[in-house]
Each structure stands twice: as C-alpha cells, then as structure tokens.
A and B are shown apart, each in its own frame.
Chain A
C-alpha cells in the first residue's frame, strides 16, 4: 500500500526482503546502507539477537530523488528467515508494495528456498496479496559459493512467473542495486496503472 502525500509531495513505498535463514537479506540491506549517499539514507534499524540473527526486522529508509515532482522514498525491510519466526514474518508483510526474494544458491539450501517461497505465498495471502501479481524479484545470492547450484536449475525450481531474476553476491555488492532497481521499476510502474 503506497502512501502518496500530496501536501509534502512525497511517495513512500515499502519493499520487503524475504527468504530462508542466512540467505543474505540483511547483507543486501547493509550493503545498500554502506554505499548510499549519507544525505539519502536514514538510520539502519536492526532488531537482531546477540548473534546477529534477525529477530524481528531490519529497516532502512532511502530517499531516491524525485519522479514527476514527487520525492520518492523507499522503506526497505527484511524479515527474520528462521522458520519459527513465522508470526513476525507475517506482520512485516503488512502493507508492502513489493517483495525481493533472496534465494541461497547453495545446493543444500534449495529445499529451504522452496519452502520459503511457499511460506511467502501463504503469508501474502493472509495479508490480502497475491504472490502471482504483487511486484516481485528473484535474487540468486551467493553465486560465488563453490557449492552453488547452476542458474538453470535454480530457475526451474524457483522462478514461477517470469519475474526478473538477478544473480548476486550480496557481501560484495554484486547484483544488490540491480535487484532493488528491478523491484522499484515494478512498483512505480504499478502506480501508473492504479
């Protein structure tokens, strides 16, 4: 649910990074935070456990510049990936405008990726969204791992609607901005139609 404020000429969009535990959702946001121009980024809020696992969410507000005279601001959120935090994940999807699914390329995590997409579909539905129509990007993360599955195999298993698919190594920044941009494009184009 985009918030368009005609008084302050601002438009706010919520983008949620989803995916199985340790797939690199927080790493994506951290990289964006480190690279962003200090004037454009807000504070990175991380609600994490002592061992740096996401407990509730990470949050990063980003000022992107203007479109048609409106200031565009993205609110980036991650969900906790661990299976037992499902109640929290559901809450964070509230009012989201787009999803970035971060898949872990390691073969051993393929089942976790598939489960997480199924979980996303369920949780979106409970929030009144349809996984087949909401702005959605698939990121194949950790492409540098020796045990990474081939892209074609991951595509066959995880890509289900011709969504943009981007290869990434989030801790080095590869593919991180491209992923965000692909999501932004879909969300802003959606505004054109509404």
Chain B
C-alpha cells in the first residue's frame, strides 16, 4: 500500500474522544467532530444524533480538499481555517496536523472568538496523539514487527458472506 493505514487503538481513541468532549463543553458548541482528511469520521462529541455524521465527514473532507486546491493555486500551502456562517448555526473547520480535520458546530450560545480560542488549545493536544499514532505506525512499518492483524486469515467465504452469498 502506498501510504500507511490509519490504525487507531482503544487507548488513543479514548484520549481523542476525551479531548473533543471537553472542547464541545468548553466552547459551548452543539457538536464537535474529528474527521480524517480522506473523509472518514474518527470521533464525535455533543448532540451527535442531530446530524448525519457520515455525510458531514465526507463533505467536510471534500470542502477542505477543494480549499487546499485553491490555496495551492494562489501559492499558499493550505488554508488552516474555514468558517461558514449561517442564520442560526455556524461551522468552524480547522486542520489538525497532517491528516485531521476538526469541525465545530455552534450557535448563538457561543461565539467565534471563544470557539477559536478553545480549538487552538484542543488542536495542540490532538496533534500530540496523532503524532503518537503515526510514530507507532512508522516504527512497525520499519521493523516489520506489526501486531497480529485480525485480517491475516480472511477468506473468500468471509467476503462472500458480506455480499449475502
């Protein structure tokens, strides 16, 4: 595979979840999502059920990718922050490290300034965890000492079953 897979273990996931849970509270946000740049949701906190999280993740990633493209066109590396203002709800999107996107949805109970402030602090903490995940993956890839993958014994029958055959 061209790039390392993103493999998230329970303890890392818990830490990420904890950080964005705290962010949702501190920023008085409605919902906070942590999304991968390829469009997959990593973690969520707040009133998650009110939103179609899967679509949100893929559209956010598409949005960031398109904005990245725009940035490169005008000679910028990236735009690290996108803000969409609505009538009631607003969307604050920021880049975390190389592969994370943090999405904060908030209404009049919060403010852009507060969200920005809290996001800054949380981003730093999230970045540290992403770095750990990456370092571990790199180490395993270098030494070939990868943990036992649950998919090492996947069979044709397993795949047939997925398709209901």
Contact = CB atoms under 8 A, between A and B. Distances in A.
A11 B150 CA distance: 11
Interface string A179-194: 0010011001111101
Interface residues of B, number: 42
A69 B10 CA distance: 15
A156 interface: no
Given A5-B13, A75-B40, A192-B151, A68 B158 contact: yes
Interface string B35-79: 011111010000000001011001100100110110000000000
A18 interface: no
Contacts of B153: 68, 192
Interface in B1-55: 1-10, 12-14, 36-40, 42, 52, 54-55
Contacts of A188: 151, 154, 158-159
A47 B69 CA distance: 17
Contacts, number: 137
Contacts of B146: 194
A173 to B, nearest CB: 14
Given A45-B58, A56-B62, A129 B7 contact: no
- Mostly, the A contact residues are mixed
7 contacts: A4-B5, A59-B59, A59-B62, A68-B158, A94-B37, A184-B162, A189-B154
The 7 closest A-B CB pairs, nearest first, are A95-B38, A7-B13, A91-B65, A191-B151, A128-B2, A7-B10, A64-B162
Interface of B: 1-10, 12-14, 36-40, 42, 52, 54-55, 58-59, 62, 65-66, 68-69, 146, 149-154, 156, 158-159, 161-163
